[in-house]
Structure 1
Amino acid sequence: MENSAATKTSENTQDNAEGHKALLSDIRAKWDKFSEQDVSSLKGKDDLVSKVSAKYDIKPDQAQRDVDAVLKGRKIGASA
């Protein structure tokens, strides 16, 4: 008999990895000044807001709105 809990965990891990990859792709599509390495080293939403603000010379509140629009509730970083 198959262990359905282990199978679901494996599927969820794969779905999370694919979702994270899609998120990083969305970030690169929106902010093309970021390299692949820049995006993969992001530590979280606040880190992205800070970097967007600095790299694109926009106010933090505008960067926050832009980041929120791209993330759509998704998480960045190790906890994603």
Structure 2
Amino acid sequence: MRVVRCITCGKLLGDKYEEFEQRVKKGEEPKRVLDDLGVKRYCCRSTILTSVDLTRPDRRNSEIQAIMGKLYGWD
């Protein structure tokens, strides 16, 4: 589950995550990929860079709990 719009400015970002992840996995620099995708604002860039897909089937439950704990301050 990803953020569909930038939390700060509301720009649509949901259509950019997949291409961003694929290109970064192939070895491209995240900065260059974000530039190519037209993501220019700092708020949008940070939203993409810091988002975590919690619905990926390869994540274990303990990983998800750790991520959620950091996000919401659960200890």
* TM-score, scaled relative to structure 2: 0.30
Structure with greater Cα Rg: 1
Q: Kindly indicate which of the two structures has a greater share of residues assigned to helix.
A: 1
